[in-house]
Amino acid sequence: MKILLPPSETKRAGGSGAPLDESSLALPGLASERRAVIDALIDLAQDEGEARRVLKLSARQAGDVEHNRMLRSAATMPAVDRYTGVLYDALDAGSLSTVSRRWLASHVLVHSAPFGPIGAFDLIPSYRLAAGTSLPGLPPLRRHWADATTAALSRDAPDFILDLRSEAYVALGPVPDSVPSAYVRVVTEHGRALNHFNKKSKGLLVRALAEDRPRVRSLRTLRTWASSRGLVFRPADVAGVEELVVAE
């Protein structure tokens, strides 16, 4: 199984890892797409005012422009530790055991806007780029990434993909039809979508998976494991979509 997570706008500063090594990132078939976005972000960062306009940043967020300018020289840390916010706070990867963190490294991809899907323990610098941003010199990110990412996921050939991304990041790389998958929505018992608990519930789900480390190769085995944890998955009224049912 592979789990696809969205990134987070908020990120932990600093890092102790060597500068970004693009060749070490997961899904190496995306090398040219990564290089193009990184180059465009670095070029844009040479003009702070223009970068703030394109990235929709306030004057107080000017530090994010500097992060982009230093994409190839800044210190790095594992992606799963770099991202913060509701989902990653609930996952709390730093408090997991060594064996659970290794499980994350083998099973989780985080879908970033500048790098595409990367391994949970791929070393990345801090950056600022959202899925809906249009960078000068590049087509819209959806066009830039979608086909290449879908092809890369197909070559990776996991038994099953659990897609926990937001719709904006799904658009940057739909799961290939050739790979069995489930896209997860978080709902109440009565079917009401729970935006407030969406990210937290997904973070807690991934943490539970990392703690138990089940061998999930299909939706059926995912449901079996979930039942043992007191979690409820049920099919939605849309093909390929599963509802994770939580209390309000």
Q: Where are the domains of the chain?
A: 2-245
For the segment 194-210, the average pLDDT, to the nearest whole number, is 92
CB 66 within 8 A of CB 45: yes
Q: 40-66 burial, b for 16+ CB within 10 Å, e for fewer?
A: bbeebbeeeeebbebbebeeeeeebbe
Under the banding of pLDDT at 50, 70 and 90, the label for residue 189 is confident
Q: Length of the chain, please? A: 248
Under the banding of pLDDT at 50, 70 and 90, the label for residue 122 is very high
Under the banding of pLDDT at 50, 70 and 90, the label for residue 220 is very high
Query: Could you tell me the pTM of the whole model?
Result: 0.95
